[in-house]
Amino acid sequence: MKLILLCLTLVILRLSVAAQDAVPRDEHEMHRLHNDPKAYIGALEDPKRDAYQKPQEVMTALAIKPDEVIADIGAGSGYFTFRLAQHVGGKGKIYAVDVSPDMILHINRRIRELHMSNVVTVLSDSDDPLLPDRSIDRFFFSESWHHIENRTKYLALMKRMLKPGGQVVMIDFQKKDLPVGPPLQMKIAKEDLIRQMQSHGFRLQKEHTFLPYQYFLIFTVQ
């Protein structure tokens, strides 16, 4: 009996440790997490995320100009929003776009705390980022494209909203079993995404391969 209790204790401890890490979650867990704003923000801002997300390397790879206007789609807690804002400087602008009022509220609080003047929040529709035409240098998606249902409409709107020569940056999880990220059925394979973008008038301009669990693609209008 003592041996059984010891084994059960070890299993519970392992599960507890795993729950604190950036771990893979099934669809039910993902929905539950999205319905708990504090837990979701905690997961997005987990310092362990930096190890695989490599935010500084991503910023370097983007080679952002100091006056760019970037739309961070599915900005969430602002994990990338405020990093992008540091790189565009006072003459640039970051639109933090999200469908969740809780995430927008959280970012607004951080804007005030950090005294940021170049971040603008947008509470958007699920199929429309609600941004002005020809106003965006880059759309930035980090683990958010798979949440958009009407992608055909979204891509058409993005083409309208991009400035000439603008880009769409896509970072998302590889479609295979990984130690982090959403369940397999929620992921989009890199090849499928490229085909989708090409069929809607975008071409792959560049690919970065330094992220261990994600693809990092940059598209421009054909």
Per-residue pLDDT of 153-167, as tens digits, reads 999 999 999 999 999
Strand segments, DSSP code E, in 74-213 are 93-98, 119-123, 136-142, 162-173, 202-208
- Determine the angle formed by the axes of helices 27-34 and 37-44, rounding to 10 degrees: 110
The Cα–Cα gap between 119 and 100 comes to: 17
The Cα–Cα gap between 51 and 139 comes to: 24
Say whether pLDDT at 8 is over 50.
Answer: no
Q: Is the pTM of this model over 0.85?
A: no
Say whether pLDDT at 93 is over 50.
Answer: yes
Strand segments, DSSP code E, in 44-177 are 69-73, 93-98, 119-123, 136-142, 162-173
Give SS3 for 131.
coil
